[in-house]
Amino acid sequence: MKFIKQYKMTLAAILVFIILVVAGHFAYSLLVTNNESDICYGRDEGKDLHPIASETYQKVKESLENQKFVSSVSTDEKCLLVKVSVTVSNDATTDQAKSLGKLVLDEFTDDQKSFYDFQLIVSKEDKEKTDFPVIASKHKTSSEFVWTKDRVTE
């Protein structure tokens, strides 16, 4: 007891330091994301039951690139979202761009279409064109893409 009375300020400082270290570690773990953590935060549960093979993405690319007005295609999958980005020639119309949605969906199984969300972004080679990009989304519960409103050309 005599020891505690003699060093009470030192012991209080040590206790405050320990509390600050614990609180700092807790705040750091809450505020700083870990790059190795799951970026989907568990929103991709069941994904292993509905896999999409790389061959499917290759078929999508081939199907779209067979269209004479398509310049390039890229695909990406994050969590439960399949993103398809297409660049078309400058003389392509919005109707032609919208026809690409069916080609994308034709390559996926009904099971995949009812499990994943899809996004299709169609842009022109000339980024200054005002009628593009056109963007389409398909929720897993819908059967087809929903497109953005047509842009007015200047």
Which residues constitute the domain of residue 21?
Answer: 2-31
122 and 54 both lie in a single domain: yes
CA distance to 3, 4, 13, 105, per residue, from 10 (Å):
11, 9, 5, 70
Average pLDDT, the chain: 85
Which has the closest alpha carbon to 137: 81, 72, 71, 63? Answer: 81
Domain count, the chain: 2
| Terminal C-alpha separation, the chain | 86
Asked whether residue 68 is assigned to any structural domain, the reply reads: yes
Q: For the domain that residue 107 is a member of, what is the CATH number?
A: 3.30.300
pLDDT in tens, 71-115: 999 999 888 899 999 999 888 888 888 889 899 999 999 999 899
Burial class (CB in 10 A: 0-12, 13-18, 19+), 94: middle
Give 68's DSSP letter. Answer: T
Q: Which residue carries 């081939």 as its tokens?
A: 62
Q: How far is CA 55 from the centre of its chain?
A: 20
67 and 125 both lie in a single domain: yes
Higher-pLDDT residue of 58, 49: 58
20 and 86 both lie in a single domain: no
